[in-house]
Amino acid sequence: MGMDTTFQRARSDEQREARRLAILGTVAAMLTEMPVTAISLNELSRRAGLAKSNVLRYFESREAILLELLDSEWKQWLAALPAQLDGVADGPSLAVALTDSLRSRRVLCDLLSAQAGVLERNVSADVAARYKRAALADVTALAALFRKTLPQLTAPAAEQLCAAAVMVIGAVWTHSQPSTGMLAAYREDPSLATFKMEFAPSLRGVLELLITGALRTS
């Protein structure tokens, strides 16, 4: 109750921003334990020590929180990428570097996997537009980084590559996270394990194909 009262009394811009960041941090911590689909506003409020109505003062919905977290995670990844792409000079090495850069970014991958089907479904036009503007800027920055790494890429090819890569990251992540039931089926019938997808090698292979295609059209 004490935390909730303190939350309600936050009045300055600094206090409000601190509360927003605390909510985002709580969601990020939850995503290290459970998938996006298991995140509930009730559990988030409980873990943050807040009434749900107080959380909704800062974000209009669970999905709005997750979209903002997605943008934050993307920007952190983007900021770290230049160092990780240092020395990359061809398509295969770019695919390897991108895959390696995502190995420890489970939250980003999980959020990307749920972006279109979950996160964009329960938000107002204002929130949707704000997120899409940020996403467009992020993709533009990623495309510029790709062109800096592989100068032979044309601007249109780099933009198409970025859009395809984002979709592929989310799709491969989803398929590489089998349910408990599927894991049990694989154990009971090893022949079914041919359908089991490992995130890093699968992503690297698909990214290499995409990059090769983008270079050929440049």
Q: In whole angstroms, what is the distance from residue 129 CA to residue 94 CA?
A: 31
Mean pLDDT on 204-216: 96
Per-residue confidence (pLDDT) for residue 128, from 0 to 100: 92
Q: Which CATH class is domain 61-216?
A: mainly alpha
Share the mean pLDDT of the chain: 91
pLDDT at position 6: 44
Flag the least confident range among 2-16, 58-72, 124-138, 172-186.
2-16
pLDDT at 1 over 60: no
Q: Model confidence over 159-181: pLDDT tens digits? A: 999 999 999 999 999 999 988 89
Domain ranges of the chain: 1-58, 61-216
Check: CB of residue 94 under 8 Å from CB of residue 88.
yes
**pTM of structure:** 0.86
Per residue in 44-77, pLDDT (tens digit) is: 999 998 899 999 999 999 999 999 999 999 999 9
**Where does the pLDDT of residue 90 fall: very low under 50, low under 70, confident under 90, or very high at 90 and above?**
very high
Tell me how far the alpha carbon of residue 210 is from its chain's centroid: 19
Alpha carbons within 13 A on the beta-carbon side of 127: 19
Q: What is the pLDDT of residues 23-39, one digit of tens each?
A: 999 999 999 999 998 99
For 145-161, what is the mean pLDDT?
Answer: 96
Fold of 1-58: Arc Repressor Mutant, subunit A (1.10.10)
Query: Are residues 155 and 217 in contact, defined by beta-carbon separation less than 8 angstroms?
Result: no
Question: 88-99 burial by CB neighbour count: b if 16+ within 10 A, else e?
Answer: beebebbbebbb
Nearest to 36 by CA among 98, 122, 103: 122
Residue 4 clears pLDDT 80, i.e. is over it: no
Contact 119, 67 (CB under 8 A): yes
